[in-house]
C-alpha cells in the first residue's frame, strides 16, 4: 500500500514557495494498492457515498482509494467510479481536472512538500510556474461542472490565464449542451465558492468567454452592453459595473449573502426597454423578479435570497437616503425590516456601499448613508415600544392605532437628532 499527498495541497504548497508565502492547506491523500476492507481494518471511517473515501482514525484527513471514472449518463450521478488495487497513481491523476491539480508527493515527504520530488505526469509544475489553467485530458469534457471549477480557480488565482485549448474545449462543451445537464446543487456550490474568492469577477468573465454564463445565468449575461448614465456610472456598461461591484465586495471581505446580493442587485437593467436607455426606471422591481428566478433555478439558500431581495428593491432609496427626513427614513427602515433584523440591515448597507464604490473612479469614495441610517436605526430601536404601546392602550387605542403611536414615537426620536445625523 502506497500513500500520496495529492491535488490542492501539493499545488498550494508549491505556489506558496514561488510566492515566498506560508501555505495553509487541507491535505488530501490517495491510497494505491489496497482495498476498502484493508482500510476499515486499520480503523479508517468511510464517508464516501459514491466513491471510496475514508477519514483517518487520528488526523481525520481524507484518504481516497486511487480510482478511475467513466461517464455513463448526463449529470454528476452518471459516473462509474472504479477503485481497485490495480489502479495506479498515474491512473488517478489522469482523471483530474487541471494540470496544477494533478500532482502528487509521496507520504514520506509530505511534511516538507517544497523539498520533495513532485510526481507530475501532466506538466502541472510548468503550468503553475507560467500561471496557466489547463485541462489534463479530454476526459475534462465528461463532467461539465469542471467548467465552473475552472472559472472558480480563475477567481482564486486571478493572475492565471486559461489555456487556449482549454477555453476552446469548454466552448465546445457549451455548444454541445453539456452545461444544460448540470445539477442545481453542484452549480450553486461552485457559484458560492467562486463568489467568495479573491476576485469573483474573473469567474464570470471566464464563464462568459466560453458561453456558459448565457446558459447558466442569462439574467447576468445580458447586462454586458447595456448602457447606464455616464454621470452616475463613468464605466457606462452595466456588466462592467457589476464586476466592479463584486470585486469591491471581495475587497471589503463581505459575506456570501452580501456578495450574492451584489450579483443580483441590477438584474432588471438587462430588461430595460431600448427606447428609455440609458435610464433604468423601475429596474429595482424587475431585479427582484429576476433574482427569484435565479434562486429557484439554482436553489440558493434562503438567507441569500432574502438579503438579495431587500438590496435589489431598496438600494436606490438607500443611496438617496441622505435627502430623507425622519418619516421617510423610518419607512425605509421598516421596509427593510431593520428594526427586527439589524444585523441583516448592516449587510444590506454593505452591499449598497459596494454598489456605490464599484464604479470607475469611486473605489475609495465614502458612503455616509451607512452611518446616517445606522444612527437612525439606533435611535428608533432605543424607543421603549412596550411603554409607548401600554400608554396607547391606556388612552383607549387598539390594533393598528397602537402601531401608529409606536411609529410616531420612533419618528420623533429620529427627528429630534436628525439635524445632527
Q: Which of 43, 31, 47 is nearest to 92 (CA)?
A: 31
DSSP collapsed to 3 states, 243-272: HHHHHHHHHCCCCHHHHHHHHHCCHHHHHC
Q: Tell me the average pLDDT across 38-47.
A: 89
Report whether 6 contacts 26 (CB < 8 A).
no
Least confident of 4-13, 47-56, 122-131: 47-56
Give the pLDDT score at 9: 87
Rounded Cα distance, 390 and 394, in Å: 6
Q: Which of 343, 336, 326 is nearest to 383 (CA)?
A: 326
Average per-residue pLDDT for the chain: 91
pLDDT for 185-233, tens place per residue? 999 999 999 999 999 999 999 999 999 999 999 999 999 999 999 999 9
Phi first, then psi: what are they for 79, rounded to 5°?
-125, 140
- Please report the sign of the dihedral spanned by the C-alpha atoms of residue 355, residue 359, residue 361, residue 363: positive
pTM for this structure?
0.90
Give the pLDDT score at 23: 58
Report whether 136 contacts 102 (CB < 8 A).
yes
Give the pLDDT score at 421: 57
Give the pLDDT score at 79: 45
pLDDT for 370-417, tens place per residue? 999 999 999 999 999 899 889 888 888 888 889 899 999 999 999 988
Give the pLDDT score at 80: 46
Cell matching residue 384: 421603549
Give the pLDDT score at 355: 98
Contacts within 8 Å (CB) and 24+ apart, 35-39? 35/65, 35/85, 36/65, 36/83, 38/1, 39/63, 39/65
Give the pLDDT score at 419: 66
DSSP state of 178: G
Higher pLDDT: 64 or 160? It is: 160
Give the pLDDT score at 78: 43
Give the pLDDT score at 375: 94
pLDDT for 130-149, tens place per residue? 999 999 999 899 899 999 99
| CA angle in degrees (0–180, nearest 5) for 30-34-36 | 85
Give the pLDDT score at 108: 81
In 42-144, alpha helices (H): 89-94, 124-130
pLDDT for 309-352, tens place per residue? 999 999 999 999 999 999 999 999 999 999 999 999 999 999 99
pLDDT for 69-115, tens place per residue? 765 454 444 444 556 778 889 988 998 999 999 999 998 887 776 67
261 pLDDT more than 90: yes
Give the pLDDT score at 110: 75
Q: Residue 111, exposed/middle/buried by CB under 10 A (0-12, 13-18, 19+)?
A: exposed
Which band of pLDDT confidence, cut at 50, 70 and 90, is reported for residue 52? confident
| Cis amide prior to 278 (ω within 30 degrees) | yes
Only one residue has cell 482509494, namely 65
Give the pLDDT score at 146: 96
Q: How many CB atoms lie within 10 A of CB 354?
A: 27
pLDDT for 274-283, tens place per residue? 999 999 999 9
Report whether 206 contacts 151 (CB < 8 A).
yes
β-sheet bridge partners, residue 132: 161
Q: How many CB atoms lie within 10 A of CB 231?
A: 7
Amino acid at each position: 500500500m502506497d500513500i500520496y499527498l495529492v491535488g490542492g495541497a501539493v499545488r498550494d504548497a508549491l505556489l506558496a514557495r514561488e510566492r515566498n508565502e506560508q501555505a495553509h492547506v487541507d491535505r488530501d491523500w490517495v491510497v494505491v494498492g489496497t482495498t476498502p476492507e484493508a482500510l476499515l481494518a486499520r480503523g479508517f471511517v468511510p464517508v464516501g457515498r459514491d466513491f471510496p473515501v475514508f477519514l483517518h482514525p487520528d488526523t481525520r484527513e481524507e484518504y481516497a482509494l486511487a480510482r478511475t471514472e467513466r461517464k455513463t449518463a448526463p449529470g454528476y450521478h452518471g459516473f462509474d467510479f472504479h477503485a481497485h488495487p490495480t489502479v495506479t497513481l498515474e491512473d488517478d491523476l489522469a482523471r483530474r481536472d487541471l494540470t496544477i491539480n494533478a500532482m502528487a508527493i509521496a507520504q514520506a515527504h509530505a511534511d516538507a512538500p517544497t523539498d520533495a520530488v513532485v510526481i507530475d505526469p501532466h506538466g502541472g509544475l510548468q503550468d503553475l510556474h507560467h500561471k496557466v489553467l489547463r485541462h489534463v485530458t479530454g476526459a475534462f469534457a465528461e463532467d461539465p461542472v469542471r467548467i465552473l471549477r475552472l472559472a472558480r480557480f480563475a477567481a482564486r488565482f486571478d493572475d492565471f490565464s486559461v489555456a487556449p485549448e482549454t477555453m476552446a474545449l469548454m466552448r465546445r462543451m457549451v455548444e454541445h449542451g453539456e452545461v444544460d445537464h448540470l445539477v442545481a446543487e453542484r452549480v450553486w456550490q461552485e457559484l458560492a465558492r467562486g463568489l467568495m474568492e479573491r476576485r469573483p469577477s474573473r469567474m464570470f468573465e471566464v464563464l462568459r468567454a466560453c458561453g456558459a454564463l448565457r446558459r447558466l445565468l442569462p439574467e447576468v449575461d445580458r447586462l454586458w452592453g447595456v448602457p447606464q448614465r455616464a454621470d452616475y456610472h463613468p464605466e457606462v456598461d452595466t456588466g462592467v459595473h457589476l464586476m466592479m461591484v463584486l470585486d469591491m465586495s471581495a475587497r471589503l471581505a463581505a459575506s456570501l449573502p452580501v456578495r450574492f446580493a451584489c450579483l443580483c442587485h441590477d438584474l432588471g437593467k438587462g430588461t430595460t426597454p431600448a427606447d428609455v436607455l440609458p435610464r433604468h426606471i423601475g429596474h429595482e422591481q424587475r431585479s427582484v423578479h429576476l433574482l427569484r428566478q435565479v434562486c429557484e433555478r439554482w436553489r440558493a439558500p434562503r438567507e441569500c435570497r432574502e438579503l438579495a431581495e431587500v438590496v435589489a428593491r431598496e438600494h436606490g432609496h438607500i443611496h438617496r437616503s441622505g435627502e430623507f427626513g425622519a418619516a421617510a427614513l423610518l419607512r425605509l427602515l421598516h421596509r427593510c425590516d431593520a428594526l427586527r433584523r439589524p444585523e441583516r440591515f448592516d449587510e444590506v448597507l454593505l452591499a449598497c456601499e459596494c454598489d456605490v464604490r464599484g464604479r470607475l473612479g469611486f473605489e475609495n469614495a465614502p458612503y455616509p448613508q451607512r452611518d446616517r441610517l445606522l444612527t437612525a436605526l439606533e435611535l428608533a430601536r432605543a424607543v421603549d415600544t412596550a411603554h409607548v404601546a401600554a400608554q396607547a392602550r391606556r388612552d383607549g387605542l387598539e390594533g393598528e392605532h397602537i402601531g401608529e403611536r409606536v411609529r410616531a414615537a420612533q419618528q420623533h426620536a429620529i427627528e429630534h437628532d436628525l439635524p445632527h445625523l
